[in-house]
A and B are shown apart, each in its own frame.
Chain A
Amino acid sequence: MSHRFRWVWPVSIRRQLVVGVALVHLVLMTVFVLTLVHRQKTFLLDRAERRVLFQAELLATTSVHPLLSSDLAGLGEILAVLVRDAGDVPDAMVTDPRGRVVAHRQLGEAGDRLDDATIRATVAGAPRARLVARGQHTIHAAAPVMARGRHVGWAWITGNVSAERAQLDDVTRTGLVYTGVAVLIGTAFAMGLARAILHPLSLLLGGTEQVSQRRWEQPIPVTSTNEVGTVTHERAQFEAVLSGIGEGICVTDTVGRVLMWNRAAEQITRVPAPVMVGAVIPGPLCLVDGDGAVKDFARTVMKRAIDSGEAVSTAATKLMRLDGSVLSIGMTSAPIRDHAGAVQACVSVFRDVTRERDIDRMKTEFVSAVSHELRTPLTSIRAYAETLQDLVGDEATVQEFLKVIEEEAVRLTRLINDVLNLSRIESGRVRFKEESIALAPLVARAIQTAEPKAAMSNVRLATDVVPDLPPFRGDADGIQQVLTNLVDNGVKYNRPGGRVEVRAWLNGGVRVEVRDTGIGMSPDAVRRLGERFFRVDSSETRRAGGTGLGISLVKEILQAHGAVLEVESAEGRGSAFRFVLPVGGGA
């Protein structure tokens, strides 16, 4: 229905049905009654005409004899019989062939007499019985009086049709009454029908409109067995699924107003749907993320999902219930788009991850405890090996072996440190700072750290950091680790005479590149880079020594900075590692 008709044509299905059925009844009944009246009219008039014609012929036959014998009294007698009080024939007369009146009888003062013109016209025509005129309430007929083939006069009859007229009026009136009654009954029927169809539909509508508020213990009643019943059934199933899902579901509009809050959401938060629905997140919820209480929708993951137009996950939100218990909440929010692609709402799925977080924390604590326990014996091994080297003098083999013990102790220490770091970052226990940091000093430190090793293996180190590079936003320690690891790799997986260069410039952020002219990697190795403990297995890499955790650590740290490590490498020619750090406003 076009918008132009909206104001005439009701919008609700109920009104449409009622108005529609009533209209159809009105039109059909009117046509029906009109047809009926018309037929009745034709029938009644036809009958009246034939009656009057018959009476005219009858008069013509009976007046032959009196007319021939000029028996005027007899003629008057015959007319008197015809023109009775009943009023069927208010006027009768007999004329000669030229229309001159021989005998005439009239009831009361019935008007509407035949005029002379009609009479003249009739007598001028052939001697044949026929209707000669019709009035409002009367019909006039004439029949020739024939005596043995000779035309001796005319018999005239005026018939009264007011009875038929009255009958017709009656039929018309009754028809109108019937039309009215039919329209009434039809409308009532339409209303009944509308109700029968719409009641389950309205239950369903009530149901879907208030999916969120409705008490979930009361499912939509599925009563109808017709199509609406089917729809209702599907709807009920859909809702049963929604409410049955073990994950909390929260749908909000773009300003954070809650549109839906399922049963699991109620159970997890202990806040019932009627309280949540309509409230703006966080509403009555007491949410805490890493940096403190969430008091504003703008600080939620949902808002981030709406703004970015992409699904966003978090596991770092805590929820405090009214009874004081604290839960860790894992949540994924995703924007809901309309058909035009505009974000119109946000659906969030969340669950209680307290147990997982606890286990995770225990795991981290365990790793931390283990690494702590490992350090103590390592400390002794290293300290004793080192001290022994001072004691044994020039005994070359003993020196060599003690050196191995010490080196391995150092390597084990690095392994422990890397495992510890990685597990802390993965468990989200390390909170990276967001500060404004100048890159150049970090690069200088990384180069400085690698210097001894580079000198030993005859690898040149170079830096090319543009002078007016703005500071990046992030964590100084984290990025220091990234640079140190990458430069260390560049030196380790290199060849005498090789070169490692750290470059940094501004291009969509602070773009950093650590490039070497070393042994490079196969495409497969590049793909596997970042797997825990992955190391390319070759004599060259084995000689270099390492844990296979460096790149994992680098990737985790960069990810926390919203950056990705790009790797480009050619076997035998060298590798380049690149990433872009965000440039931040404010300190």
Chain B
Amino acid sequence: MKRILIADDESHIRRILEFNLKRAGYEVLATEDGRAALALALSARPDLVILDVSMPELTGLDVCRRLKADATLEATPVFLLTARGQESDAEAGRVAGADQFFTKPFSPKQLVEQVRQAVGEP
């Protein structure tokens, strides 16, 4: 089964994403801060990582950068979620190596669709 890691400090967002992805058949790991996300990513080896940009401790951008710097996780797709939707954010996301960029509010249906395209059927 394909494993997805979600990191967002907003519990409601975490919950609905988790719900939708699980319903689509994926295994989901969820955490509320960047540091934990990094640790989980290294230990649980997810097939795809979804990161909120603004999180305490370590931002989504930081986590993304570190994942992309790790030789074993380099190929793992990373989706970033941002609440700002500004050019500069998208640019920063690209620089950090993110594969997809979603501006809140986003459509969970579309997100699940993108996940399916990135990692295939669960």
Please determine whether chains A and B interact with each other in the same assembly: yes
- CB pair A378 B104 closer than 8 Å: yes
Instruction: Give the contacts of B50-89 with A (CB-CB under 8 A).
Output: 83-85, 87
Which of B16, B83, B104, B106 meets A387, CB within 8 Å? B16
Q: Given A375-B104, A387-B19, A413-B105, check contact A380 B83 (CB 8 Å).
A: no
Which of A368, A372, A383 meets B105, CB within 8 Å? A383
- In the complex, whether A417 has a CB less than 8 A from a CB of chain B is yes
- CB pair A386 B107 closer than 8 Å: yes
Residues on A with C-beta less than 8 A from B87 are 477
- Count B interface residues, CB 8 Å: 17
- In the complex, whether B113 has a CB less than 8 A from a CB of chain A is no
- CB pair A409 B16 closer than 8 Å: no
- CB pair A375 B83 closer than 8 Å: yes
- Bound CA–CA A383/B19 (angstroms): 11
- Bound CA–CA A139/B85 (angstroms): 129
Residues on A with C-beta less than 8 A from B19 are 387
- Bound CA–CA A390/B19 (angstroms): 12
- Bound CA–CA A280/B83 (angstroms): 49
- In the complex, whether B25 has a CB less than 8 A from a CB of chain A is no
Residues on B with C-beta less than 8 A from A473 are none
- CB pair B85 A379 closer than 8 Å: no
Residues on B with C-beta less than 8 A from A413 are 105
Residues on B with C-beta less than 8 A from A379 are 10, 13, 83, 104-106
- Bound CA–CA A220/B55 (angstroms): 66
- CB pair B85 A380 closer than 8 Å: no
Give the nearest-CB partner of B103 in chain A: A375
Give the nearest-CB partner of A417 in chain B: B85
Complex interface bits, A375-391 against B, C-beta within 8 A gives 1, otherwise 0: 11011111110110010
- Bound CA–CA A381/B83 (angstroms): 14
- Bound CA–CA A378/B83 (angstroms): 10
B73 smallest CB distance to A (angstroms): 27
- CB pair B83 A409 closer than 8 Å: no
B89 smallest CB distance to A (angstroms): 11
- In the complex, whether B2 has a CB less than 8 A from a CB of chain A is no
- Count A interface residues, CB 8 Å: 19
- In the complex, whether B20 has a CB less than 8 A from a CB of chain A is yes
Residues on A with C-beta less than 8 A from B104 are 375-376, 378-379
- Bound CA–CA A380/B105 (angstroms): 8
- CB pair A376 B10 closer than 8 Å: yes
- In the complex, whether B122 has a CB less than 8 A from a CB of chain A is no
- In the complex, whether B109 has a CB less than 8 A from a CB of chain A is yes
Complex interface bits, A187-202 against B, C-beta within 8 A gives 1, otherwise 0: 0000000000000000
- CB pair B83 A372 closer than 8 Å: yes
- CB pair A372 B107 closer than 8 Å: no
- CB pair B16 A384 closer than 8 Å: yes
- Bound CA–CA A383/B17 (angstroms): 8
B83 smallest CB distance to A (angstroms): 4
- CB pair B105 A375 closer than 8 Å: yes
- Bound CA–CA A383/B15 (angstroms): 10
Complex interface bits, A402-429 against B, C-beta within 8 A gives 1, otherwise 0: 0000000110010001000000000000
B86 smallest CB distance to A (angstroms): 8
- CB pair A386 B109 closer than 8 Å: yes
- CB pair B13 A383 closer than 8 Å: yes
Residues on B with C-beta less than 8 A from A386 are 107-109
- CB pair B108 A383 closer than 8 Å: yes
- CB pair A376 B83 closer than 8 Å: yes
Complex interface bits, A140-161 against B, C-beta within 8 A gives 1, otherwise 0: 0000000000000000000000
Give the nearest-CB partner of B11 in chain A: A380
Complex interface bits, B12-24 against A, C-beta within 8 A gives 1, otherwise 0: 1100110110000
Residues on B with C-beta less than 8 A from A380 are 10, 12-13, 16, 105
Residue among B17, B87, B106 with the highest chain A CB neighbour number at 10 A: B106
Residues on B with C-beta less than 8 A from A372 are 83-84
B34 smallest CB distance to A (angstroms): 17
Which of A376, A378, A387 meets B20, CB within 8 Å? A387
Give the nearest-CB partner of A388 in chain B: B16
B101 smallest CB distance to A (angstroms): 15
- Bound CA–CA A376/B83 (angstroms): 7
- Bound CA–CA A410/B108 (angstroms): 13
Residue among A382, A383, A409, A410 with the highest chain B CB neighbour number at 10 A: A383
Instruction: Give the contacts of B1-45 with A (CB-CB under 8 A).
Output: 10, 12-13, 16-17, 19-20
Residues on A with C-beta less than 8 A from B10 are 376, 379-380
- Bound CA–CA A581/B83 (angstroms): 33
Residues on A with C-beta less than 8 A from B85 are 417
Give the nearest-CB partner of A410 in chain B: B105
- Bound CA–CA A368/B88 (angstroms): 14
- CB pair A383 B83 closer than 8 Å: no
- Bound CA–CA A413/B85 (angstroms): 11
Residues on B with C-beta less than 8 A from A381 are 105
B75 smallest CB distance to A (angstroms): 28
- Bound CA–CA A477/B86 (angstroms): 12
- Bound CA–CA A410/B110 (angstroms): 15
Give the nearest-CB partner of B106 in chain A: A379
- Bound CA–CA A381/B109 (angstroms): 14
Give the nearest-CB partner of B19 in chain A: A387
A297 smallest CB distance to B (angstroms): 34
Give the nearest-CB partner of B109 in chain A: A386
> What are some 19 contacts across the A-B interface (CB < 8 A)?
A368-B84, A375-B84, A375-B104, A376-B13, A376-B83, A378-B105, A379-B104, A379-B105, A380-B16, A380-B105, A382-B105, A382-B107, A383-B13, A383-B105, A383-B108, A384-B16, A386-B109, A387-B16, A417-B85
Write the residues of chain A forming the contact surface with B, with a CB cutoff of 8 angstroms: 368, 372, 375-376, 378-384, 386-387, 390, 409-410, 413, 417, 477
| A-B contact sample (20 more), CB < 8 A, given A372-B84, A376-B104, A380-B12 | A372-B83, A375-B83, A375-B84, A375-B104, A375-B105, A376-B83, A379-B13, A379-B106, A380-B13, A380-B105, A382-B106, A383-B13, A383-B20, A383-B105, A383-B107, A384-B12, A386-B108, A386-B109, A387-B108, A409-B105
